[in-house]
Amino acid sequence: MVKKLLNWTWKFIVSVSVIIGLIAAWNELFSNEDIQIEIKNISSVELTKAPTDKNISVSYLFSDSIPIENFWKFNFKIYNSGNTTVIGSGNQSSIINDALPLSINDQLSIVSIAVTNANFPVKLRTGKSYELSFEQWKPSEFLEMEIYAEMPSSIEIKKILTINEREIINGKIDYSQYDLKDSPENLKLIDKLPNNLQFIIKWLIVITIIIMTILTAVGIRKEFKKNQEWNVGTKFFTLVFVMLITAVFATPLLWIF
């Protein structure tokens, strides 16, 4: 019995390894290698909202010197959401020019713009235009930007900060709004792993659960045939027990999806 169990276990391990290898190879050969950058609007706050009482008037200064009105503060997170590193310099550069241009909606009057946080070396060039200068921008790396600007109260601007996709070779830019579900405390552990590793682990768990479920069903069928003297109650409790065990095996699906 032990020898048979070990034999089955070995066959199971080999089968799963072969399947995972084939899936990983397929993913490597046919996966999308386009560069994907996501611009997420974290917050948009009006700082100079006028009082509703007509008898009250207020005026504002930025940095105690610049008169402002209809003044807004925008926070953005820009990160490499794909699987490909963005090369920012050299012969293998992924961008058309020596820096990546940022476009600010021309309805805004920019007062201040800055990179407030980044987990990779990046510089913001300012002047007549705004550009990001970097050597390598690896997957999952990000930068955070803060923009202070005056915006006409009579218009609604959907996109404040944009990047032209054609400035990046095989580039794709996605835009989104911040959601509480995106906060780090709501991320699953597997979401913090590299995308390729996530893919392999997910399929490994799914295939393992499927194979274990099939083997369990076959085993129950054999036991029922072997022990035909079992009454309906015994068979029922056996099925309930097996369902509970299957549910335990399926628990990792809640962790990864």
Residue with tokens 């390729």: 196
Q: Which of 185, 199, 200, 188 is nearest to 254 (CA)?
A: 188
Q: Does 39 share its domain with 21? A: no
Most confident of 60-69, 203-212, 246-255: 60-69
Q: Does 179 share its domain with 218? A: no
Q: Does 19 share its domain with 42? A: no
Q: What is the pLDDT of residues 151-174, one digit of tens each?
A: 877 666 678 899 999 999 988 999
| Strands 171-177 and 35-46, bridge-based pairing | parallel
**Structural domain span for residue 246:** 2-29+193-256
Q: Does 137 share its domain with 41? A: yes
Q: Does 158 share its domain with 204? A: no
Looking at the structure of the chain, the number of domains it has is 2
Q: Does 108 share its domain with 173? A: yes
Domain stop point among 130, 163, 184? 184
Q: Does 16 share its domain with 66? A: no
pTM of the full structure: 0.61
Q: What is the pLDDT of residues 81-113, one digit of tens each?
A: 888 899 998 888 999 988 999 999 888 889 899
